[in-house]
Chain A
Amino acid sequence: MHNLLAWIVLLPLVGFVANGLLGTRLAAQRLGPGWVSVIACALPIASFVLTLIACGALLSSGQPRLELAYTWAEIGGQELQVAFWFDRLSAVMTLVVTGVGSLIHIYSTGYMKGDAGYARYFAYLNLFLFFMLLLVLGRSLLVMFVGWEGVGLASYLLIGFWFEDPAKAAAGKKAFITNRIGDAAFLLGMFLLWQSLGTLDLDRINAAFAASPAPAVSASLVGVLLFIGACGKSAQIPLHVWLPDAMAGPTPVSALIHAATMVTAGIYLVARLSGLYLQAPEASQVIAVVGLATAFFAATVAVVQTDIKKVLAYSTVSQLGLMFVALGVGAYAVAIFHVVTHAFFKACLFLGAGSVIHALGGEQDIRRMGGLARRIPRTFATFAVATAAIAGIPPLAGFWSKDEILWFAFASSRGGAAWLWLLASVTALLTSFYMFRLLWLTFFGRSRMTPEVEHHVHESPWSMTGVLFVLALLSAVGGFIHVPQFLEPLMPLPAVQPERAALQGTLIGVAIAIGLAGLAGAAWFFGGDAARAGAWRERLTGLHRLLSAKYYVDELYEAALGRPLRWLSERVLLQWGDRRLIDGTLHLAAGTARVAASLFGALQSGSLHRYAFYVVLGLLAALAWSVRHV
């Protein structure tokens, strides 16, 4: 097919237009919701099939596929083209986006059944897929940026999907505004690249930085600016605050956008520009440190969260941090590997959490769950597999990708260090611990549900659990897909420091031990005596309060940014600028006119005698003038 890539991108847009324009009217019919679901699911699946065809072509030809759609603008002899670029990296990302995306669409038909905004929901979901595909398939940084902003928009619409609730609408705004900060830096990076290279095509940027002489722009400066953009989208410190709040959206949205695909856009951006980052060791160092800090802090916060979705949200932030560590030490392909496996098990976990919430009629607090393993066995089985996968229990998917990240954090010749590995390993231990804690509190032990919730517990329909099984299977075997080897021609793995090469076996052993230690720790804490965790909480009250409050980051931002800004707006801009300066000027002009009008209006009294008197005055004045001048 000639326009294969364009069709992959456009099919979800067709779904958005169809459901967006007709959906609400259609859903009112008796068979309407069925049609809405068919439109919503068939088009992403069609995109997935087309992606498979494109992948086949890519593998047989070995050449990246380039499709020019049209010329967007021509500035000073430079053309800005809308073009699609399909190489091995785009292939992996597109497969994840359309594949996991399709699965989550199918799941959503069960989860969102009966919601008043059913058609609107699917329209937004399709819109998201369209922008996400634009992001991963765009050849130019500009096209990518359009997708980048578009997924932000879709994310905003879906976080605030139940906009009648002010807290949820506020969460949507928070996500959107936080992302704007990163986008500003992204734009600055783009401007610098355009100014110095005269092109925004990603492959040309990479080639320009690989060539000698190097371009006359600091790769580290551009790298850091683009990374700030990535921080916003991928929820890294200090712009991570929006992602936990984004859980206000429907659970499948959390799975698709805020775990599996959109938040990995930052990883994709850095990996896509690996040619630039290879020339920017300082920027890479920044990425590794920020990623590690995010991974560690988010993992500690996740240990004490009590909302099932919040635990998973912080887990996502933490895993994204680990991916950035891999990017920072030059192991770009490994980061993408973790993106893929993370998409499988985190989607499975979120959808499993959705299934739990569905079963309990909206309950999200794990302190009021427990003992669900026997009541909803299909959800439990898949959730357990995904938990083991993210905890790094071999041979499940998470083990392979996380082990490679730890290995390159330790041994990469591009910035690998023992302390990176140590902190990353502690993070992995915490990950394993809080994930098994979640599993235990939700599915094992005695039931802590209220009687009426307990009465309602029911397993979800097959449209939901079937998807869970597919994702659980992928979480189990996803590690055997050799993504780094597949990406080897595009972005080779960094060289290993020779003196550390011998330690690989030991490190794998340690990684396995860490996964099992987390499991054992969680079992010891939450498996046996229920009072044990409580006793530890008593002992570490201060720490527990600090972690529960998420290190007071929101409060800090509120005090350092929110309140001064509000004071500035209220006092200076509103009271002085708006009320006094602008309103004051207008009031002055209006007041002058009013006073003048009342003066001259008094002259016109309606009394003929007074008018005649004015005539006399006029005559006298004319006489006086003529006496003086004639």
Chain B
Amino acid sequence: MDRVNFLLAISMGLFAIGLLGLIVRRNLLVMLMCMELMLNGVNLSLVTFARHSATLDGAVMVFLSFIVAAAEIAIAIPIVLLLVRQRRTLDAGAYDRLKG
């Protein structure tokens, strides 16, 4: 099998596992981790395309998305902590009253 196709398959697998986990798991922290998996699946595909096309655009894009992901997780974890202080549970279903 071609290396590129192999890497893209892994990237799609990572994304699919992340998406499935996001849908089926109820723990907020696990859901966050699943989202990271999805993000990294996309990053992997970006790096693969960058190597394949011999340009740097994809690699630069990945750095950008790392930074955004770091910032995002830095906000998401405190939000989850604050929520848990209120309800003493990590179950996402407990917070469905937050719909607006």
Instruction: Find out whether the CB atom of B99 lies under 8 angstroms from the CB atom of A609.
Output: no
Name B23's contact: one of A604, A606, A609 (CB within 8 Å): A609
- Mask: chain B, 20-35; 1 = CB below 8 Å from A; 0 = not: 0011101000010000
| Docked complex Cα distance between A381 and B83 (Å) | 101
- The answer to whether A612 has its CB under 8 Å from any CB of chain B is yes
Give, as a whole number of angstroms, the nearest-CB distance from A235 to chain B.
71
Residue numbers in B under 8 Å from A604 (CB-CB): 99
Instruction: Find out whether the CB atom of A613 lies under 8 angstroms from the CB atom of B99.
Output: no
- Chain B interface residue bracket vs A: 10 to 19
- The answer to whether B97 has its CB under 8 Å from any CB of chain A is yes
Name B98's contact: one of A606, A612, A616 (CB within 8 Å): A606
| Docked complex Cα distance between A605 and B26 (Å) | 15
Residue numbers in B under 8 Å from A608 (CB-CB): 31, 92
- The answer to whether B93 has its CB under 8 Å from any CB of chain A is yes
Please, which residue of chain A has its CB at the minimum distance from the CB of B23?
Answer: A612
- The answer to whether B19 has its CB under 8 Å from any CB of chain A is yes
- The answer to whether B96 has its CB under 8 Å from any CB of chain A is yes
Please, which residue of chain B has its CB at the minimum distance from the CB of A604?
Answer: B99
Tell me what chain A mostly uses at the interface: helix, strand, loop, or mixed.
helix
- The answer to whether A29 has its CB under 8 Å from any CB of chain B is no
Name B97's contact: one of A606, A612, A615 (CB within 8 Å): A606
Among A609, A613, A615, the most chain B Cβ lie within 10 Å of the Cβ of: A609
Residue numbers in A under 8 Å from B31 (CB-CB): 608
| Docked complex Cα distance between A615 and B18 (Å) | 13
- The answer to whether A607 has its CB under 8 Å from any CB of chain B is yes
Instruction: Find out whether the CB atom of A606 lies under 8 angstroms from the CB atom of B22.
Output: no
- Mask: chain A, 590-617; 1 = CB below 8 Å from B; 0 = not: 0000000000000011111100110110
Please, which residue of chain A has its CB at the minimum distance from the CB of B98?
Answer: A606
Name A605's contact: one of B19, B95, B96 (CB within 8 Å): B96
Please, which residue of chain A has its CB at the minimum distance from the CB of B35?
Answer: A612
Name A606's contact: one of B19, B24, B26, B99 (CB within 8 Å): B99
Give, as a whole number of angstroms, the nearest-CB distance from A572 to chain B.
48
List the interface of chain B (C-beta within 8 A of A).
Answer: 19, 22-24, 26, 31, 92-93, 95-99
A-B contact pairs, 13 of them (CB 8 A): A604-B99, A605-B96, A606-B98, A607-B93, A608-B31, A609-B23, A609-B24, A609-B26, A609-B92, A612-B19, A612-B22, A613-B23, A616-B23
Please name 4 further chain A to chain B contacts, defined as beta carbons within 8 Å, in addition to the given A604-B99, A609-B24, sorted by A numbering: A606-B98, A606-B99, A609-B22, A612-B22
4 interchain residue pairs of minimum CB distance: A606-B96, A606-B99, A608-B92, A612-B22
